[in-house]
Amino acid sequence: MSAAHRVLRPFWTCAADGLPWPCAEARRRLSSNDLAVLRQTMAKLMAIAQGELDDTDLATLYRRFVAWTLEPDQRCAICGSRRHAAISGVAPRLIPCNALRAAIAASDLPGRPSAR
Ligand SMILES: [Zn+2]
Ligand SMILES: [Zn+2]
């Protein structure tokens, strides 16, 4: 058996393969958990990672930690966007709708100055 695909903090890399955590194998294993619980866990981990990683923007973190745990057609309960979603049971300040909407929109336009 290979080493466990667990997170190494404060680097947030995988202990087994050194990739940004959660790596594909970590995601596959995590996906066997209850998805509602997994979403909450990943949203909280994203908030912790945000405090420990200083070279990662919100849109990238959101895709890495939370986006893959959502249903394909899940919409944000606040703004209706399909690009992100509020997670029930997680404080809105951890998954800030406005900030996510702006960050994800900005990351879709590489090289363009932010509209803010
Ligand atoms: Zn891994
Ligand atoms: Zn929203």
DSSP states of 26-88 as a string? HHHHHTTS-HHHHHHHHHHHHHHHHHH-SS--HHHHHHHHTGGGS-TT---TTT--SS--PPT
Structure confidence at residue 55 (pLDDT): 77
CA of 69 to the centre of ligand 1 (A): 17
Gap between the Cα atoms of 68 and 42, Å rounded:
10
CA of 4 to the centre of ligand 2 (A): 34
Structure confidence at residue 60 (pLDDT): 94
Instruction: Tell me the sheet residues that pair with 35.
Output: none
- What per-residue string of b and e applies to 32-56 under the rule 16 or more CB within 10 Å gives b? eeeeeebbbbbbbbbbebbeebeee
What does the pLDDT profile of the chain (116 residues) look like in tens digits? 557 999 999 999 999 999 999 999 999 999 999 999 999 999 999 999 999 998 789 999 999 999 999 998 899 989 999 999 988 888 888 889 999 999 999 988 766 554 44
Tell me which residue of 78, 82, 114 sits closest to 95, measured CA to CA.
78
7-8/13-14 β-pairing: antiparallel
Ligand nearest to the CA of 5: 1
CA of 7 to the centre of ligand 2 (A): 28
CA of 90 to the centre of ligand 1 (A): 26
Structure confidence at residue 115 (pLDDT): 45
Structure confidence at residue 44 (pLDDT): 95
Structure confidence at residue 114 (pLDDT): 47
